[in-house]
Chains A and B, each alone.
Chain A
């Protein structure tokens, strides 16, 4: 158990900067998810912590130990790779027991421990099989078993669920979280899937171009994104972002959409952000409201995603299915914003206005 610290960590490949001045603190026992589009430096950061990539400058600490120049084997970490990296020539039991060979644990004891771990993951009946005879989900569990057998100081996950199908991904996600909570081992998890990031993490770190765009609890990041990049990246469906001007709480887009927002000090050119859940539609609009045409309705059971077109802008709204009683594709509806739920960003810099 240990906290993890990155101080001013840089990584260059030739002259291109992959990670720049990364300062990061993972509290002991926390589950932190790093998320971002591909090429944002999240995997590189994870690999630097694992010791698989040398760092160009800076310092990484696990607990009080500086591990910057240590080999991976001396860092006391466990890692689950995207393709699971199971050893094809070893059985499930031997795969799980493998890390114990490094600690010179007697073979009989190591295999006994492996059986216990396999049992706790529901793999007992597969212990003698080779990885190629397992399904993707089972392989994934073996990889997790191999990671937990040694009780490392830090767990690292490199997109471990992305090769699973959707249903299995959700199940494994829950299970992973339970295991981490039970063991209380500091974890860093990398994914490009923002939904996975939101559901798994105690703390979420959104990366962009080698830097931290925002970090905090999932709720903080979701409810107060600090930039248009984070606003658009986190949340599904994506936040509506509309450029325009604001004056005394009335927003008018460049294309002519008028929306009432909360009264804030800002005036001038802004980008208005509205979560699809906060964009309300009414089938019998008051005359003061801007209008939109319903282009597409996608039912998701109790809720529906409605794609709208207003003044040549495509907007997305998520509404309760009950509200769609009088709405069809092609209907004209009125648009409004839920009170105190709009986000305003500076149009030039993209950063949040207070």
Chain B
């Protein structure tokens, strides 16, 4: 009887430690975004009057345009990854396409450091006169989002019994319609999870964005790094910008997470 209690105490303690690791930096950044530069230099300061100068300067700095560009890059990358990766994952799962090597080999590109891949991308972007646009950024993001999404979805397709699809074919549907009407609904929770995961990868990337689109088409992380100026880091403004980057992702995950749980529970809740 004692052991489970000890375990639950341990579990709660660990959860708190983990929560503190996540919450403290976020809280610090949130507070920092409301401080003046002078207040930021005083680590002992606890009570202060909120000041909105950092927010005003961030909002006028074009950070929202950068966020919009990041959103576009993320959505396009994830959209392509889900369609292409979904088909790939289905083929690998059902037809063992490419043999057992593809199943994990698909992640092989992840072994390459991004620094190796970025220069071919940059050269091609220059040749096509697409440098400093979102196009090469999207392609670069596809290089790591697409394999991960595909790999992620293989397991979900594996879990769909082949008899379901066969049943639909016998019930009078073509292969494609059987896939859309019967297989796809079973993997929707997986697709949702893969989409969030892929979007987060894309949204958080700075490296490719910085090299392929450093100027007018800068995406959010690149724009945030712009607050590290030759006159020093503008901590307050940077904190506000980071919040702009983080908060939408947190909110989106929260809502989609609830959807995910609904999906996984077998559609007990009518959609």
Does A pair with B? Answer: yes
Chain B: interface secondary structure?
A: helix
Q: Are B166 and A52 neighbours in the complex by a CB distance under 8 Å?
A: yes
Q: Judge whether A78 is part of the interface by a CB distance below 8 angstroms.
A: yes
Q: A71-B169, A72-B169, A130-B266 are in contact. Are A85 and B174 (CB under 8 A)?
A: no
- Distance between Cα atoms of A73 and B267 in the complex (Å): 27
Q: Are B170 and A89 neighbours in the complex by a CB distance under 8 Å?
A: no
- Distance between Cα atoms of A98 and B174 in the complex (Å): 14
Residues B150-174 near A (CB distance < 8 A)? 161, 163-164, 166-174
Q: A71-B174, A73-B172, A73-B174 are in contact. Are A88 and B266 (CB under 8 A)?
A: yes
Q: Nearest chain-A residue to B164 (Cβ)? A: A85
Q: Judge whether B185 is part of the interface by a CB distance below 8 angstroms.
A: yes
Q: Nearest chain-A residue to B188 (Cβ)? A: A89
Q: Are B161 and A85 neighbours in the complex by a CB distance under 8 Å?
A: yes
- Chain A: minimal CB distance from B51 (Å): 52
A71 contact set on B, CB distance < 8 A: 169, 174-175
Residues A48-75 near B (CB distance < 8 A)? 50-52, 71-73, 75
A79 contact set on B, CB distance < 8 A: 166-167, 170
- Chain A: minimal CB distance from B188 (Å): 8
Would you give the 0/1 interface string for A81-92, flagging 1 where the beta carbon is closer than 8 Å to chain B?
A: 111010111000
B167 contact set on A, CB distance < 8 A: 79, 81, 85, 87
Q: A89-B185, A130-B266, A130-B267 are in contact. Are A83 and B161 (CB under 8 A)?
A: yes
Q: Judge whether B127 is part of the interface by a CB distance below 8 angstroms.
A: no
- Chain A: minimal CB distance from B191 (Å): 14
Q: Nearest chain-A residue to B271 (Cβ)? A: A89
Q: Are A88 and B186 neighbours in the complex by a CB distance under 8 Å?
A: yes
Q: Are A73 and B173 neighbours in the complex by a CB distance under 8 Å?
A: yes
Most central of B164, B167, B168, B173 by chain A CB within 10 Å: B167
Q: A83-B161, A85-B163, A89-B185 are in contact. Are A52 and B171 (CB under 8 A)?
A: no
Most central of B169, B175, B185 by chain A CB within 10 Å: B169
- Distance between Cα atoms of A52 and B170 in the complex (Å): 8
- Distance between Cα atoms of A316 and B265 in the complex (Å): 52
- Chain A: minimal CB distance from B143 (Å): 34
Q: A87-B182, A88-B186, A132-B266 are in contact. Are A72 and B170 (CB under 8 A)?
A: yes
Q: A79-B167, A83-B161, A83-B163 are in contact. Are A89 and B267 (CB under 8 A)?
A: yes
Q: Judge whether A300 is part of the interface by a CB distance below 8 angstroms.
A: no
- Chain B: minimal CB distance from A305 (Å): 37
A85 contact set on B, CB distance < 8 A: 161, 163-164, 166-167
- Distance between Cα atoms of A89 and B186 in the complex (Å): 7
- Distance between Cα atoms of A87 and B173 in the complex (Å): 14
Q: Are B169 and A52 neighbours in the complex by a CB distance under 8 Å?
A: yes
Q: Are B161 and A130 neighbours in the complex by a CB distance under 8 Å?
A: no
Q: Judge whether B112 is part of the interface by a CB distance below 8 angstroms.
A: no
Q: Judge whether A103 is part of the interface by a CB distance below 8 angstroms.
A: yes
- Distance between Cα atoms of A244 and B263 in the complex (Å): 66
- Distance between Cα atoms of A79 and B182 in the complex (Å): 16
Q: Judge whether A146 is part of the interface by a CB distance below 8 angstroms.
A: yes
Q: Are B163 and A102 neighbours in the complex by a CB distance under 8 Å?
A: no
Q: Judge whether B250 is part of the interface by a CB distance below 8 angstroms.
A: no
Q: Judge whether A184 is part of the interface by a CB distance below 8 angstroms.
A: no
A78 contact set on B, CB distance < 8 A: 170-171
Residues B215-270 near A (CB distance < 8 A)? 266-268
Q: Judge whether A33 is part of the interface by a CB distance below 8 angstroms.
A: no
- Chain A: minimal CB distance from B210 (Å): 43
Please list the residues of chain B having a beta carbon within 8 angstroms of any beta carbon in chain A.
161, 163-164, 166-175, 177, 181-182, 185-186, 266-268
